[in-house]
Amino acid sequence: MRVLIDECVDPRVKLLLADHQAATVHEKGWDALEDGPLLALAQNEFDVLLTIEGSLEFQQNLAKLRMAIVVVHVAQNQLAYYHALREELLTAIARARAGGVVHGGGARRD
């Protein structure tokens, strides 16, 4: 899958997604975009947005998107915490479907 890593996620998470085509918002030059415009643009190039922003699903109309959202719940936004959840994260990405949201990881942060 083509996975876009949101700017709020430790960019080194890309190292854990070797089986996927992953890029960060920063690499795409989309850092300055608000969520709505970011999603509108990203859905043309990516299948999944990986984020820790749990409120995103309540602030945007995701059902109309041609991409999915995976919200990962980590205790801290550091690679070691994502690494501990790697298998669950990969499963969440595999389960993700356009217009939907999949939550993965530990306790919710939102």
Q: What is the pLDDT of residue 106?
A: 64
The residues facing 71 across adjacent strands are 51, 103
- Rounded CA gap, 106 and 102, in Å? 13
What is the pLDDT at residue 101? 95
Low-confidence spans in the chain with pLDDT less than 50: 108-110
- How many Cβ atoms sit within 10 Å of the Cβ of residue 30? 17
pLDDT (0 to 100) of residue 105: 78
Nearest to 49 by CA among 18, 109, 5, 92: 5
The confidence score (pLDDT) of residue 22 equals 98
